[in-house]
Amino acid sequence: MNVGPTPPGALPPLPRTGTNWPTILGILCMVFGGLGLTGLAWNVLASSKQMADPLGIYAWNERETRRIEEESLVASQPSEDVEIEMPDGEKIRVSFPKPEPATTQVEEAPAPRQVGEEMSRLTNPYHGRSVWSVLLMALAMLAKSLLVVGGFLLYRRRPVARGLLLGTAALLVLETLLAQSIVLNGILSSQGFGLRGFGGKMGEEFFRGAVLFGTLIGLVFSLAGPVFLLIWFHRRKIIREVESWRLAGA
């Protein structure tokens, strides 16, 4: 096939060959993009109160706990019987509540549901109603949608897929950095009750260290895909092959 002279400074296109990497990489992009969109949709559903307690078990448990505590308080109310002699000589017995001894207020441990909600808020940046969480959710939905579209175009060997996937990779890098920054900021600055149920001060520090380590590992794995796309589509051989698709479709 005669493609004519190559413009100065441009790479000569490769002849159209039967390479399989566009099919494989395109399918992978569509699969991971679809899984990402599914995870985001689940986060939106899980943030609603109905999905957080679909059967009403937590609400029923809290009502029963309050009822039992109130009944126990009434039943255990201390009293003291006093015998009073009336003017006509009749004696009657009256019960008066005894004064309760002074007690020291001890901070109660957080309930398991509260601990779970606090941990979800700290470790899942997509789960929340803050401005940063909403922006992160919008950015993630855009990036995952473009990843699916770019994967489909790459599967069909469309030249526009290269530029679209390069832009998607940049958005995924931005999303990952923003998400991990929100998690790190929440863990390092949190003084909430969610960290007080892990064995005191030492348990709290151990929990922070474990979450920080997991965040760093997650950062590496989250950046692996976008960085691979950025490197792959900047290879001279890949650029030339993508250009051959453009010439073949002209």
pLDDT, averaged across the chain: 74
The model's pLDDT over 71-130, given as tens digits with 9 standing for 90+, comes to 665 555 555 556 666 666 677 666 655 555 555 554 455 555 555 555 556 667 776 667
Q: What is the pLDDT of residue 54?
A: 53
pLDDT tens digits along 16-53: 556 899 999 999 999 999 999 998 888 777 665 544 55
Residue 192 pLDDT level (bands cut at 50, 70, 90): very low
Token look-up 């892990």 returns 198
C-alpha distance from residue 23 to each of 19, 29, 151, 218 (Å): 9, 10, 9, 27
Mean pLDDT of 56-75: 65
Q: What pLDDT does residue 2 have? A: 47
Kindly report, residue by residue over 212-235, the tens digit of the pLDDT.
788 788 889 989 999 999 999 999
Residue with the bigger pLDDT between 106 and 139: it is 139
- Residue 108 has φ and ψ, to the nearest 5°, of -80, 150
- Do the Cβ atoms of 1 and 125 come closer than 8 Å? no
The Cα 225–Cα 32 span in angstroms is 10
What pLDDT is recorded for position 7? 59
Give the pLDDT band of residue 170 (cuts 50, 70, 90): very high
Q: What is the pTM of this model?
A: 0.63
